Amino acid sequence: MLAVDVCAPVGTVAHPLATPDDLAETARLVEAEGRRVVTAQVDVRDADALTAAVADGVARLGGLDVVLANAGIGLMDPAADPRQAFRDQLDVNLVGVWNTVHAAVPVLLEQGHGGAVVLTSSVFGLGGDGTGGGDGYVAGKHGVVGLMRTFATWLAPHGIRVNCVNPSGVATPMVLDPAVEALFGGP
């Protein structure tokens, strides 16, 4: 498994993101299952760094079968510049997904034996509150559904399946945060 995470804060985000210790814990849990893992601290907004991480991971692990574009940001700091919050949402939650797929899929195509791509969208596709961060989350997650459709058309002839998952509320650090609880009316 190649596990990639930024392991650092993203400027306008209100909730804590993963740390290097979190990524190390993920690696420990994978190895505890008897599987090999390579980790990389990479920002999905950095397409060149992603491509380099994929090349390194594939060289060390011997190939690639499944791509999961899951990195995302949620609630933005209400004090953040709304224009920047909107752009950060789209850069991470939409452009980051495109970057991830375009870093990894060339390997699947070169291997020539198909594969699978899974994108994490969200049910958060309806409603909004007029904030830059909220609008950006909803627009970005709608965009991920669009990417799934165009990727599926592109990759089906190569035997590569593309789906997205649209979770509702899941108890992760993204939502187990006092500011998110306040937004949705308390714990």
Ligand X SMILES: NC(=O)c1ccc[n+]([C@@H]2O[C@H](COP(=O)([O-])OP(=O)(O)OC[C@H]3O[C@@H](n4cnc5c(N)ncnc54)[C@H](O)[C@@H]3O)[C@@H](O)[C@H]2O)c1
For residue 92, state whether it binds ligand X (rule: CB under 6 A): yes
Among 63, 159, 167, 178, binds ligand X (CB under 6 A): 167
Residues comprising the chain, all counted? 187
C-alpha span between 10 and 92 (Å, rounded): 9
Per-residue contact flags (x/-) with ligand X for residues 105 to 144, judged by CB under 6 A: ---------------x-x----------------------
Among 128, 146, 172, 178, binds ligand X (CB under 6 A): 172
71 tagged catalytic = no
The strand ranges marked E within 18-152 are: 38-41, 66-69, 115-120
C-alpha span between 43 and 4 (Å, rounded): 8
For residue 173, state whether it binds ligand X (rule: CB under 6 A): yes
C-alpha span between 53 and 63 (Å, rounded): 13
Residue with tokens 């909730």: 15
- Contact residues toward ligand X (CB under 6 A) are 5-6, 10, 17-18, 43-45, 70-74, 92, 96, 120, 122, 167, 169-170, 172-175
Catalytic residues: 137
